[in-house]
């Protein structure tokens, strides 16, 4: 197989629609939402829910598009899915509009991705179908704990099977849960969401004992205890969640309930990240592109144009900086495209997934910082969105595996080392 760089028609259609959303629904209220942290943008959420249903549910947790479904119809030729390619393009455009609001887009997010990666066909049908319901619905992944950040294998949340009732009893604490409040707390405007909680069913087994559990909204014993006040992505809720003797149906475990010597449970988590890290990278590219385009527009207003095609030594310092920024943004996007193409074609992409995340996290911080530096006081002023994008950029390097952790993943794959051999 070879990668084709011609944009598929469904991708073009989705980008066109969402560019209109980004221009007319996100940018006009971007500053207002940033200033009013944790205010839920219900008008945006409701519009996006309706739009995604009309587009075939491509962002609503099912990771499918209307074009994918056509390929499975009788008499239609089989062809590779383009679901992740569609998603990457959608997320890049929405993050160009406002990455915090994108994170408030209804759908399954990491929670649905976990079900998609490790759930049975029955679980997928049960839990993912709700994202195409009448109300906008959210799901969240609960993995990080106070003592277990990047080292996800160190989680202490425990799940114990009650043999009498055939229920799992889960106790623990989770922090930094993206969309945790909208996924679990009761809002009349939102549908019945869920959280996916990572816990150990056998602490003595280490990573082999890790499993994930779907906990539906309204389940007793689950409480959102805190919403983080953040530097960036301020419209997105980032929650702390406590679990006190939470009873979960036996069938809500994702994966086998039997502990074996293999690390199947942990690999299920990593498979989720292999699929979603390129999508996170796409959001970083969107923020970087927003900053770069705004910088070029503001420079043009001052009579500064970029003279392409000249030898580097004949360019001004600003021209060289802008061209370097464009190279960074385009190279990061190409790495995203390769990683999502591999995901769509069901090829192992752990290396490419982490590489795209590292590259995007690096360039979005460099591009936004350089934009602030070039514009000086204007770049630092809250009158313009450049300073906001500078604040929003850093999260790309942090969530779903920090830049340092992903560099370790890349090194292990390139050098053929295990986790224990290279830490």
pLDDT, position 422: 86
Helix (H, G, I), strand (E, B) or coil at 420: coil
**Helix residue ranges per DSSP H, 119-209:** 121-128, 180-184
Average pLDDT over residues 377-387: 96
Question: Which tens digit of pLDDT belongs to each residue from 92-102?
Answer: 999 999 999 99
pLDDT, position 33: 96
The DSSP 8-state label assigned to residue 396 in this structure reads: G
Taking the domains of the chain in order of start, what are their residue ranges?
Answer: 9-110, 132-262, 266-415
Question: Minimal CA–CA distance to 139: which of 246, 11, 276, 264?
Answer: 276
**What's the CATH fold of domain 9-110?**
Butyryl-Coa Dehydrogenase, subunit A; domain 1 (1.10.540)
Residue 10 has pLDDT above 90, yes or no: no
**Helix residue ranges per DSSP H, 103-211:** 109-118, 121-128, 180-184
Question: Which tens digit of pLDDT belongs to each residue from 43-53?
Answer: 999 999 988 78
Q: What percent of the chain has pLDDT over 70?
A: 89
Helix (H, G, I), strand (E, B) or coil at 289: helix
Average pLDDT over residues 302-324: 96
- pTM listed for this prediction: 0.89
Range with the poorest average pLDDT among 10-19, 122-131, 149-158, 257-266: 257-266
**What's the CATH fold of domain 132-262?**
Butyryl-CoA Dehydrogenase, subunit A; domain 2 (2.40.110)
Give the whole-angstrom CA distance, residue 37 versus residue 16: 29
**Helix residue ranges per DSSP H, 151-218:** 180-184
Residue 63 has pLDDT above 50, yes or no: no
Question: Residue 10's CB: how many other CB atoms inside 10 A?
Answer: 21
pLDDT band at 265 (very low <50, low <70, confident <90, very high): low
Q: Are 141 and 150 in contact (CB under 8 A)?
A: no
Residue 59 has pLDDT above 50, yes or no: no
Residue 179 has pLDDT above 90, yes or no: yes
Question: Minimal CA–CA distance to 33: which of 288, 385, 294?
Answer: 385
Give the whole-angstrom CA distance, residue 256 versus residue 308: 57
Distance of CA 278 to the CA centre of its chain: 8
Task: Give the CATH H-level superfamily of domain 266-415.
Answer: Butyryl-CoA Dehydrogenase, subunit A, domain 3 (1.20.140.10)
Q: Residues 6 or more apart from 172 whose CB is under 8 A from it?
A: 145, 155, 156, 157, 158, 197, 199, 242, 243
CB burial of residue 375 (10 Å; 0-12, 13-18, 19+): buried
pLDDT band at 1 (very low <50, low <70, confident <90, very high): low
CA distances from 307 to 52, 301, 302, 320, 322 (A): 41, 15, 15, 10, 10
Beta strands in 274-324 (DSSP E): none
pLDDT, position 206: 82
Give the whole-angstrom CA distance, residue 55 versus residue 414: 39
Beta strands in 129-261 (DSSP E): 139-142, 158-162, 167-178, 194-200, 210-216, 222-227, 238-249, 253-254
Residue 336 has pLDDT above 70, yes or no: yes
CA distances from 118 to 165, 250, 357, 415 (A): 24, 16, 22, 28
pLDDT band at 15 (very low <50, low <70, confident <90, very high): confident
Question: Which tens digit of pLDDT belongs to each residue from 64-87?
Answer: 444 444 445 555 555 667 888 888
Residue 404 has pLDDT above 70, yes or no: yes
Residue 374 has pLDDT above 60, yes or no: yes
Which are the catalytic amino acids?
A: 400
């Amino acid at each position: 197989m070879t990668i084709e760089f011609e944009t598929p028609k469904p991708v073009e259609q989705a980008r066109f629609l969402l560019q209109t959303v980004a221009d007319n629904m996100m940018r006009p209220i971007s500053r207002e939402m940033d200033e009013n942290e944790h205010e839920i943008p219900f008008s945006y959420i409701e519009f996006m829910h309706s739009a995604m249903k009309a587009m075939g549910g491509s962002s609503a947790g099912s990771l499918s598009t209307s074009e994918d479904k056509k390929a499975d119809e009788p008499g239609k030729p089989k062809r590779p899915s383009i679901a992740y390619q569609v998603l990457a393009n959608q997320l890049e455009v929405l993050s160009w509009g406002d990455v915090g609001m994108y994170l408030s887009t209804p759908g399954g997010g990491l929670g649905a991705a976990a079900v998609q990666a490790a759930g049975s066909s029955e679980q997928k049908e049960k839990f993912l179908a709700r994202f195409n319901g009448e109300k906008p619905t959210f799901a969240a992944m609960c993995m990080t704990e106070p003592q277990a950040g990047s080292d996800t294998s160190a989680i202490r949340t425990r799940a114990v099977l009650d043999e009498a009732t055939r229920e799992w009893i889960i106790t623990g604490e989770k922090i930094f849960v993206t969309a945790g409040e909208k996924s679990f707390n009761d809002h009349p405007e939102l549908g019945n969401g869920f959280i996916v909680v990572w816990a150990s069913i056998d602490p003595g087994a280490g990573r082999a004992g890790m499993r994930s559990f779907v906990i539906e909204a309204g389940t007793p014993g689950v409480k959102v205890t805190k919403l983080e006040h953040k530097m960036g992505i301020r419209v997105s809720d980032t929650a702390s969640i406590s679990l006190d003797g939470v009873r979960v149906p036996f069938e809500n475990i994702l994966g086998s309930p039997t502990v074996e010597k293999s690390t199947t449970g942990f690999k299920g988590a990593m498979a989720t990240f292999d699929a979603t890290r390129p999508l996170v990278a796409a959001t970083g590219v969107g923020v970087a592109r927003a900053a770069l385009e705004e910088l070029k527009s503001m420079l043009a207003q001052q009579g500064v144009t970029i003279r392409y095609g000249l030898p580097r030594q004949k360019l001004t310092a600003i021209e060289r900086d802008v061209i370097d920024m464009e190279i960074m943004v385009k190279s990061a996007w190409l790495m995203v495209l390769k990683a999502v193409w591999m995901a769509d074609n069901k090829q192992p992409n752990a290396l490419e997934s982490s590489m795209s995340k590292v590259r995007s996290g690096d360039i979005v911080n460099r591009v936004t910082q350089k934009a602030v530096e070039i514009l000086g006081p204007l770049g630092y002023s809250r009158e313009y969105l450049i300073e906001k994008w500078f604040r929003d950029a850093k999260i790309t390097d942090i969530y779903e595996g920090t830049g340092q952790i992903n560099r370790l993943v890349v090194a292990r794959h390139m050098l053929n080392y295990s986790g224990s051999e290279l830490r």
